[in-house]
Structure 1
Amino acid sequence: MQEASVGYTQTKKHQIKEKIQLESGKKFGPIEVAYETYGTLNQEKNNAILVCHPLTGDAHAAGYHEGDQDPGWWDNMIGPGKAFDTEKYYVICSNVLGGCKGTTGPKSTNPETGEPYALDFPVITIKDMVKVQKKLIDHLGINKLFAVTGGSMGGMQALQWAVTYPEAQKFCIPIATTAKSSPQQIAFNEVGRRAIMSDPNWNQGNYYDQEPPKNGLSLARMIGHITYLSERSMRKKFGRRLQDKKDLSFDFTTDFEVESYLKYKGKSFVKRFDPNSYLYLTRAIDYFDLTDEGERTLTEALSKVKCKFLVVAITSDWLYPRYQSKEIVRALESQDIEVEYSEIRSSYGHDAFLLEPGQLKHLISSFLSKITVSDVLQRDIPLINKDTSIQKAAEKMINTGLTHLPVVEDSNKLVGLITAWDISKAVAENHESLEEIMTEKVITASENESIRSVVAKIRSNNISALPVVDEKDKVIGLVSSDILSQLADEKHPVPGTD
C-alpha cells in the first residue's frame, strides 16, 4: 500500500478528576490529558497501539493541525501504509504528565491558587506518566493494547508499561533507550537544568507573567541537541565550514555553520516549550531505573512481563548506546521472554529513530508479521453449553457484544458454533434448542497457527470468527476476521507458510 498522511487532526482532552498516588508518595489531581488518535478502533478493541513521545515531543504525533506547515513529530511512521499503518491499527499518543502541550504540568493553573503551579508542581517519574496513560486507555475502553512503543524517553515509558501493567499489552517496542539512566545521561540533563535555572529570568520558576528564561532554555536545548547527533553526522553536515563569511572573525561572534545551527535550534525551541517542563521531564528521566536503585536486578524487574519484545538500538547512538539495549535483551532472554533485537544502521546518532523511517518500518513490520494466533486471540470469552436455552444464549451474546459463541459439552469440548444470525433465525422459526440451529462442523484454529494460515481459512470459507482449540478440542478462545485480516501482509510472510 502506498504511504499517505492521516490528514488533519485535532487534539482531544480527557479529565482525570480523582487524585492519583505519585511514586513520591504525594497525591495529585485533577489531571487533564491531551491526546490524539489516528485510525479506527475495531469492534474487539484489540488493534490499539500506544505511541509514547520523547522528551520534547507531544500528543501531536502525525498529520497536520489547521494552519500548520509541519506535520506531527513521528508523521513519517504513522499513517496509511506506514510502519504504524492506520488502515490496520488505532494509534494513540498523549502528552505526558508534566508536559506543556495540553497535559497538566508546571504551567497549568493550580485550582487551589488560580495561578500556574510553577515549582509547586510535584516531582514526577516515568511510572507516574504511565499511570496517567493507563487512566486514558481505560477511559477509551481498551483492555489490552496491541503494542506500546516509543523512542528515547518514549522507550522508557514502553518498558515501564511492560513492568507495571504486564497484562496490558501484547507487544513492547522500546527504541534507542535504556532500563536506567547512566551517570553520563544524568550529567547532561543536569547541565541543561542549570542553564535554565541560572538565567536571571527564571525567578525560581515564577516567570509566567513576565519574560521567561529564554536564554537558559535555548542553551539547554543546544546542549541536548549535541547529544542527539553523532560526530560523523556533524562532520558530514557542517564540517568546519564558515557561516556567511570567508575568513575567521577573531572574536566571539558566530564563525562556524555548526554554531549557527545550534543557535537556530535553541531559538526555535523556546517558542514551543516551557522551561519548567524541561526541568521536570529531564528529572523524570534521571530517576528512571527499573532496578529501583539496585534493590533488584534487571532480570528480576522484567521477570513478570507477559508481552513479546522488539528492542531497537542505533549503531551511532552515543547518548543511549547499544550496550544498554543489549542489557535489556539479555535480561529478557534469561527469563525465557520472547525478544528480538535489531539495530538501525545510521550515522545520524540518537535522532535516527526520527530520521530513518525506512529501516524502522522494515524492522517493525517484520516483527509484527511474525505473530501467531496466541498473540491475538480473545481468551476470556463466554461458552455456551449445548443444553442452554436459546433465550439464555441470546442474552449472553447481547451482554458480551460477541456475534459468535462456541457451543461446548462437558470439559469445554467444542461441539458447535452459534452466531447472531442463528439466534435471529431461531426466533423467527420458533426453534427450541441450540442443537437445531448451531453449526456442528466448525472450522477451528490452533494457538501456534500462523496469522496468514487462519486468514486463508476465514476467506475461503467466508466466515468471520474461529474458535481456538487445543489438541483435545477444548475451547481456549476466539479469533475474529477483523484483526486477522488487517495483520495479514503479503510483503512480510510468516516463516513456514506459503
Structure 2
Amino acid sequence: MKITQNVGLVAALGLLLISAVACADTQPESLPLVEKQEFVTTNFETFGGEVIPEVRVGWEAYGELNAAKDNVILITHFFSGNSHAAGKYAETDPMPGYWDAIIGPGKAIDTNRFYVISSDTLVNQEPHNPNVITTGPASINPATGKPYGLDFPVVTMRDFVNVQKRLLESLGIEKLHAVVGPSMGSLQALEWAVAYPDWVERMISVIGMGESDPWTIANLQQWANPILADPNWNQGNYYDSEAPTEGVVQALMSITLQAQHPLIFNQLNAATNARETAPLANIRENFSVINNLRAMATARSTYADANHILYLVRANQLYMAGHGESLQQGLTQVKAATLFLPATNDLLLQPYLAKRAHDILESEGKNSQYAEITGPWGHLDGIVSITTQADRIREFLQ
C-alpha cells in the first residue's frame, strides 16, 4: 500500500475507516450484505458487584454456524469501533467493516469455514450511531426514566466478555475456535482466554497488552481530561442541557493523534511547517495541522458521548488479564494457544506490553507465539497493515 494514495481518503473518512483499502483489489470474493442484530439480557451483574437491569448490544455475523457449533471465531472490537468488523450493510456503503481485508470468503479468517461473530461492547463510544446498539451512561435508567449518567456502574473488560458470553450461550455456542481482537479488542480476547479457558482454543491479540502499566494509565487519562475540564460536562449530568462537545472533540483529537506514528502523521500533514504566517501574526490562530486534526475529530464526534468515552477509558485503565493479584497469576489460567501481534511503531500500546504477556506465557510452558506488524501508521498498523500478517493468522487458525 502506498501511503500517498490514502491521503485524501484519510482526510475525508477518518483514520479508523480506511481498513479495507490495503487489499481491496486483491480479494475477488466479498461477503453478502450484513445484518445488524440485537441481543438483550437482564439482571447483568458487573465485575464490581452491581446489577444492570437490562443490557442491549448489537451484533453481526459472517459465514455459517455448523451443526456442531464448533466453528466459531469471536471478533472483539477496538476503543472507537463497534461490531462492524467486515462486509457492508448496503451496497451503497462507502466502505466495509474495519477488518474486511482479513475476514471473508477465502481470507485469513475464512468465512467459508468459520462462523465469525462480533458484538458491540457495553459503553460503546458511539451510543448515538444508528448502527450501534449499546448500554451505558446515555441509556435510560429504568428506576428514574432518565439517562444513567454517572449512576451507571463502572465496567471492565470482564464485563464486556461476560455480555459476549451470554450472547453466545443464547445461540447455543459453548466453544470458540478462536477469539481475535485489535487494541481494546485484544484485551477482551486475552480476558476470554483467562476467564473461560475451557471455551477458548486459540487467542490472537493484535496491538494489545496484558495489563495497563502506570505509563499507559497516565497516557489514557489524557483522553479523559478534556471532558472532565469542560464545564458543560457538569459531573456527567448534561443530558437535559448543552453537551460537553468541546471536551469530546479535544478528547478525540488526542485519540486520533496518539493512534498514529510521526512517520505517517508528518507525511499526511506535510503542508504544515513552522513558517506559517497566521500563528505568528495572532496567538489565537492555529497551525493548519491543528485545524486538520480538529476537523477530523469534530467529524468523529457526531455520534460520540462524553460519559461513554470516560467509561471506556476507565475500563482500559483497569485492565489486568484475570483482574487478579498479578498478571502472572491471571495468565496461569490460559489453556489456549496464543498469538501476539503488536505493531513495531505503536506509540500508544507499545510492543513491550504484549511481549511481557507472551514471555510470561512462555515461561509457564504455554503455547505462545509473537511477531510484530511493521508499517508507518503506529497503532493503526493493527488495522491498516493487518494483511501483512494474514498468512500467519491463517496458519494459526488451522
TM-score range (shorter-chain normalised) is 0.7 to 0.9
Alignment of 1:445-484 (within 5 A): none
Choose the corresponding residue for 2:363, options 334, 342, 357: 334
Q: 93, 99, 106: which one pairs with 1:74? A: 99
1:184 aligns with 2:221: no
The offset of 1:299, in angstroms, is 2.9
Query: Is 1:321 the equivalent of 2:369?
Result: no
CA distance in 1, matches of 2:47, 2:186: 19
**How far off is 1:220 after superposition?**
0.3
* Contact 2:178 2:397 (C-alpha < 8 Å) held by counterparts: no
Letter in 2 for 1:49: I
CA distance in 2, matches of 1:219, 1:71: 27
Cα deviation, residue 57, structure 1: 0.7
Q: Are the counterparts in 1 of residues 211 and 320 from structure 2 also a CA contact under 8 Å?
A: yes
Report Cα offsets for 1:356-391 as digits up to 9, x if no partner: 13213122012223xxxxxxxxxxxxxxxxxxxxxx
Equivalence for 1:96: 121
Question: Matched residue of 1:143: which SS?
Answer: coil
The residue type paired with residue 68 of structure 2 is: E
Cα distance in 2 between the residues matched to 1:246 and 1:337:
55
Equivalent residue number for residue 433 of structure 1: none
- Aligned partner of 1:42 among 51, 54, 66: 66
Correspondence list, 1:58-207, <5 A? 58-66=82-90, 68-99=93-124, 100=127, 101-207=132-238
2:337 maps to: 308
Q: Relative to structure 1, is the Cα distance of residues 76 and 272 closer, same or farther in structure 2, using a 3 angstrom cutoff? A: farther
Distance 1:363 1:210 in 2: 50
Q: CA deviation at 1:323?
A: 1.3
Which one-letter code corresponds to 1:325 in the other structure? A
1:204-243 to 2 correspondences below 5 Å: 204-239=235-270, 241=272
Structure 1 position 247, deviation (Å) = 4.4
One-letter code aligned to 1:74? W
TM-score after normalising by structure 1: 0.69
Q: Do the aligned partners of 1:217 and 1:270 also contact (CA within 8 Å) in 2?
A: yes
> Residue 248 of structure 1: CA displacement?
4.5
Residues in 2 aligned to 1:3 and 1:50: alpha-carbon distance in whole angstroms = 24
After superposition, the CA RMSD in angstroms is: 2.0
1:14 paired to 2:39: yes
Q: Deviations over 1:12-69 (max 9, x none)?
A: 111112x122121212222112111111111111111100001111112222224643
Q: Which amino acid aligns with 1:97?
A: L
CA distance in 2, matches of 1:120, 1:10: 32
1:355 Cα deviation after fit: 0.4
Partner-residue secondary structure (3-state), 1:149: strand
1:86/1:261 CA distance change after superposition, 3 Å: farther
Aligned residue type for 2:173:
I
Question: Which residue matches 2:76?
Answer: 52
Larger radius of gyration: 1
Deviation at 1:254, TM superposition (A): 3.3
- Whether 2:371 is the aligned partner of 1:346: answer no
Write the distance in 2 (CA, Å) between the matches of 1:2 and 1:34: 27
Cα–Cα, structure 1 residues 26 and 199, in superposed 2: closer, same or farther, change >3 Å? same
Query: For residues 421-432 of structure 1, what are the structure 2 equivalents within 5 Å?
Result: none
Rounded Cα–Cα distance in structure 2 between residues aligned with 1:200 and 1:330? 45
SS across alignment from 1:157: helix
Mark the runs of 5 or more structure 1 residues left unpaired by the alignment: 370-498
Unaligned runs of 5+ in 2: 1-25
Distance between the aligned counterparts of 2:229 and 2:59, measured in 1?
33
Alpha-carbon distance in 1 for matches of 2:360, 2:106: 33
| Number of the residue aligned with 2:384 | 355
Amino acid aligned to 2:285: T
Q: Is 1:255 matched with 2:287?
A: yes
Q: Which residue of 2 aligns with 1:24?
A: 48
**Cα offset for 1:273?**
1.6
For residue 306 of structure 2, the aligned residue among 275, 287, 290 is: 275
Question: Which amino acid in the other structure matches residue 102 of structure 1?
Answer: I
Deviation of the 1:3 alpha carbon: 4.2
Contact 2:278/2:285, CA 8 A, preserved across alignment: no
Distance 2:139 2:278 in 1: 46
Residues 187 and 246 of structure 1, relative CA distance in 2, 3 Å threshold = closer
Given that residues 315 and 347 in structure 1 are in contact (C-alpha distance below 8 angstroms), is that contact kept between their aligned partners in structure 2?
Answer: no
The 2-side partners of 1:263 and 1:75 are apart by 28
Residues in 2 aligned to 1:315 and 1:229: alpha-carbon distance in whole angstroms: 12
Relative contact order (alpha carbons < 8 A, sep ≥ 6): 1 or 2 greater? 2
Equivalent residues of 2:278, 2:286 under 8 A apart: no
Q: Report the CA distance between 1:71 and its aligned residue.
A: 2.3
**Length, aligned pairs only:** 364
Per the alignment, do residues 272 and 4 of structure 1 end up closer, same or farther by CA in structure 2, a change over 3 Å counting? Answer: farther
Alignment of 1:376-391 (within 5 A): none
One-letter code of the match for 1:85? D
The question of whether the paired residues in 1 share the 8 Å contact of 2:191 and 2:322 is answered with no
User: How many Å separate the matches in 1 of 2:85 and 2:199?
Assistant: 22
CA distance in 1, matches of 2:47, 2:348: 26
Question: Alpha-carbon deviation of 1:332?
Answer: 0.8
Matched residue type, 1:71: P
Looking at structure 1, the residues matched to 368 and 149 of structure 2 have their Cα atoms a distance apart, in angstroms, of: 41
Q: Per the alignment, in what secondary structure is the counterpart of residue 147 of structure 2?
A: coil
Deviations 1:416-457 (A, max 9, x none): xxxxxxxxxxxxxxxxxxxxxxxxxxxxxxxxxxxxxxxxxx
Query: For the Cα contact (< 8 Å) 1:106–1:276, is it kept in 2?
Result: yes
| 8 Å CA contact 1:56, 1:273 repeated in 2 | no
Q: Percent of pairs identical after alignment?
A: 36
CA contact (8 A) 1:353 1:360 kept: no
Report the 3-state secondary structure (helix = DSSP H, G, I; strand = E; otherwise coil) of the residue aligned with 2:205. Answer: strand
For 2:63, the aligned partner's letter is G
Contact 1:202 1:212 in 2 (8 A): yes
Report the AA paired with residue 88 of structure 1. R
